[in-house]
């Protein structure tokens, strides 16, 4: 009998322990995964015994910061109602609303059918959802709001925008609060919303020290609804006024030919007005640096772009275009950071002759120090006097303009450095002809001409037929057409 009682007690004890274990696991799941306390969703067995203060959201609702935010957003949404962008019957969504200020304010002014999403839920105001994967069907909401410059901080602004357009009903309104207030950033923002019409842009005072000034943007979705549009295939590119404004702010061109270009570069680089130092580039889909004529990694990618170019905290993908096989091996260790294109940038796809040409000065360096390598160029012009040593190989040239158009769109931020030993006079016109120039935000261009030689005072190089005035005309033409180009040596 005693054995049976002992067995029964053990069974009861195991059942109780199992029940406790299940309760603990469920509580841990709710708190860590859903991010809320057990008194929500009727989780606790003794709900009435839990003091209201145990819910951290109750403390938030009673804070001065909460009241301040609710007052601000209530005023914003009341204005939306008066303008006709919002009504008490609007089905509304607040994207990236961590605490639910916006949702609470909507409900407070009578827009009851409102909900927010954030990666960590804060029910009943905010459910779990990602900005690039909104957990609702197409054409669900009449009104969508995103504040706090959340779209600027997104790592995927294009996906963020696409999801909002997808979830918004035709003729529905989307309202955004952003920090950026320059014309370029506004145009970049609008490029993300290809199915929407701009209704209003208004600069207002914020309520939070982290965002004292706000640009409010109101968009309206078109009747045709959401559709994905590929890159612009237009051959004609009319540059917008906002790009011309940036060109006017650029450092002045050096009108007189420098006697010592290598010294001029060191001085001039301090005066460069970088594109990303003048405007906000947050609303771009991708950030790209293309080094055309890259040579080795340390030539300009590692020594200049990675260290000096102002990136606004964005991660740039780097493309190195280099035809000289002598530099290809070192890029193998840079696979994640750099994509090597082992070809020559050209105006069409064809096999080319590629000459590594050592001038008198470079030949002397190679012999005495056993290092250094001459600059490579395609379609070489042989010296009539034959004073240069050269190495000629066959390489593959590719249509650089068509590659740009097939790889990038206007939604990408593209920076190019071009050092192609005279081929710029072929490539630049082709970029204009095809409209590929529209995809480039900034160019650092080394223009090649019959400059004075280091080795031989008073003598000009016979390697190039162009003169400095031709280069100046090329730079001037680019800037007149709204291209932010910088002189490079």
Give me the count of residues in the chain.
489
Which strands form 141-146's sheet, in the order they lie side by side?
Answer: 126-128, 114-118, 92-95, 141-146, 168-178, 211-221, 196-208
Q: Does 189 share its domain with 264?
A: no
**Is 453 a domain residue?**
yes
**Is 310 a domain residue?**
yes
CATH number (domain holding residue 456):
3.40.50.720
Token pair for residue 124?
Answer: 């009943």
**Is 478 a domain residue?**
yes
401-446 pLDDT per residue, tens: 999 999 999 899 999 999 998 999 999 999 999 999 999 999 999 9
pLDDT tens for each residue of the chain, 489 residues long = 666 667 667 776 777 777 777 676 666 655 454 444 444 434 444 443 333 344 445 555 667 888 999 999 999 999 999 999 999 999 999 999 998 999 999 999 999 999 999 999 989 999 999 888 999 999 999 999 999 999 999 988 999 999 999 999 999 999 999 999 999 999 999 999 989 999 999 999 999 888 999 999 999 999 864 444 444 444 555 556 778 889 999 999 999 888 777 777 777 888 899 999 999 999 999 999 999 999 999 999 999 999 999 999 999 999 999 999 889 988 887 767 899 999 999 999 999 887 766 554 444 434 433 344 545 556 544 444 444 455 667 889 999 999 999 999 989 999 999 999 899 999 999 999 999 999 999 999 999 988 777 777 767 777 788 899 999 999 999 999 889 999 987
pLDDT score of 29: 57
Q: Does 249 share its domain with 210?
A: no
pLDDT score of 226: 44
**Is 12 a domain residue?**
no
**Is 19 a domain residue?**
no
Domain boundary among 191, 221, 251: 221
Q: Does 217 share its domain with 245?
A: no
> How many structural domains does the chain have?
2
Distance of alpha carbon 159 from alpha carbon 460, whole angstroms: 54
pLDDT score of 200: 95
Q: Does 216 share its domain with 246?
A: no
pLDDT score of 112: 96
DSSP string, 206-224: EEETTEEEEEEEEEEE-TT
Q: Does 260 share its domain with 351?
A: yes
Q: Does 178 share its domain with 254?
A: no
Which strands form 350-358's sheet, in the order they lie side by side?
Answer: 344-346, 389-399, 350-358, 375-378
Q: Is 80 exposed, middle or buried (0-12, 13-18, 19+ CB in 10 A)?
A: buried
Asked if the bond preceding 247 is cis, omega within 30° of 0, the reply is: no
Q: Does 182 share its domain with 245?
A: no
pLDDT score of 1: 61
Query: Does residue 420 contact residue 292 with C-beta atoms inside 8 Å?
Result: yes
Query: How far, CA to CA in Å, does 270 sit from each of 17, 181, 219, 299, 379?
Result: 72, 26, 41, 18, 34
Q: Does 280 share its domain with 422?
A: yes
**Is 33 a domain residue?**
no
pLDDT score of 489: 74
Angle between helices 101-108 and 64-83 (to 10 degrees): 60
Q: Does 295 share its domain with 437?
A: yes
Distance of alpha carbon 482 from alpha carbon 473, whole angstroms: 14
Query: At 152, which helix (H) or strand (E)?
Result: helix 150-153
**Is 56 a domain residue?**
no
Per the structure, the complete domain to which residue 480 belongs is given by 241-356+390-487
137-166 pLDDT per residue, tens: 999 999 999 999 999 999 889 999 999 999
Q: Does 212 share its domain with 97?
A: yes
Domain boundary among 188, 221, 254: 221
Q: Which residue has the tokens 């696991």?
A: 25
Query: At 186, which helix (H) or strand (E)?
Result: helix 183-192
Gyration radius (Cα) of the chain, Å: 31
Distance of alpha carbon 317 from alpha carbon 315, whole angstroms: 7
CATH number (domain holding residue 124):
3.40.50.150
Query: Does residue 225 contact residue 250 with C-beta atoms inside 8 Å?
Result: no
Query: Does residue 294 contact residue 301 with C-beta atoms inside 8 Å?
Result: yes
Q: Does 246 share its domain with 181?
A: no
Domain boundary among 221, 249, 264: 221
Q: What is the pTM of this model?
A: 0.78
pLDDT score of 5: 62
**Is 26 a domain residue?**
no
Distance of alpha carbon 113 from alpha carbon 110, whole angstroms: 9
Q: Does 216 share its domain with 313?
A: no
């Amino acid at each position: 009998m005693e054995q049976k009682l002992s067995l029964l007690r053990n069974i009861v004890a195991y059942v109780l322990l199992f029940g406790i274990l299940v309760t603990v696991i469920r509580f841990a799941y709710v708190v860590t995964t859903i991010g809320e306390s057990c008194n929500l969703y009727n989780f606790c067995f003794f709900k009435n015994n839990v003091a209201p203060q145990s819910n951290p959201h109750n403390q938030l609702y009673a804070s001065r910061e909460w009241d301040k935010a609710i007052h601000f957003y209530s005023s914003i949404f009341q204005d939306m109602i008066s303008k006709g962008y919002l009504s008490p019957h609007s089905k509304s969504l607040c994207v990236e609303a961590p605490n639910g200020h916006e949702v609470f304010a909507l409900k407070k002014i009578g827009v009851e059918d409102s909900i927010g999403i954030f990666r960590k839920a804060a029910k009943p105001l905010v459910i779990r959802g990602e900005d690039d994967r909104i957990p609702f069907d197409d054409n669900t909401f009449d009104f969508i709001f995103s504040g706090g410059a959340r779209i600027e901080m997104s790592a995927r602004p294009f996906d963020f925008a696409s999801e909002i357009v997808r979830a918004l009903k035709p003729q529905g309104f989307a309202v955004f609060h952003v920090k950026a207030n320059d014309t370029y950033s506004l145009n970049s923002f609008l490029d993300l919303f290809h199915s929407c019409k701009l209704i209003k842009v208004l600069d207002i005072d914020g309520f939070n020290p982290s965002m004292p000034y706000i640009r409010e943007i109101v968009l309206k979705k078109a009747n045709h609804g959401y559709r994905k549009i590929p890159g612009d295939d237009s051959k004609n590119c009319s540059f917008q006024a906002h790009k011309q404004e940036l060109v006017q702010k650029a450092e002045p061109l050096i009108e007189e030919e420098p006697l010592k270009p290598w010294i001029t570069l060191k001085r001039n680089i301090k005066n460069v007005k970088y594109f990303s130092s003048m405007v906000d580039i947050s609303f771009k889909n991708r950030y790209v640096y293309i080094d055309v004529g890259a040579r080795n990694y340390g030539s300009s990618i590692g020594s200049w772009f990675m260290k000096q170019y102002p990136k606004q905290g964005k991660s740039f993908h780097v493309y190195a275009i280099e035809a000289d096989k002598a530099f290809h091996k070192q890029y193998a260790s840079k696979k994640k950071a750099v994509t090597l294109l082992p070809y020559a940038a050209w105006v069409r796809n064809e096999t080319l002759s590629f000459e590594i040409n050592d001038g008198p000065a470079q030949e002397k360096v190679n012999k005495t120090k056993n290092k250094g390598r001459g600059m490579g160029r395609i379609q070489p012009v042989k010296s009539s006097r034959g004073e240069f040593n050269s190495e000629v190989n066959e390489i593959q040239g590719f249509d650089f303009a068509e590659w740009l158009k097939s790889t990038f769109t206007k939604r990408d931020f593209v920076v190019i450095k071009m050092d192609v030993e005279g081929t710029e006079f072929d490539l630049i016109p082709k970029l204009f002809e095809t409209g590929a120039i529209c995809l480039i935000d900034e160019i650092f261009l080394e223009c090649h001409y019959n400059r004075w030689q280091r080795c031989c005072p008073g003598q000009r190089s016979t390697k190039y037929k162009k003169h400095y005035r031709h280069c100046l005309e090329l730079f001037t033409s680019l800037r007149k057409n709204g291209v932010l180009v910088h002189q490079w040596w």
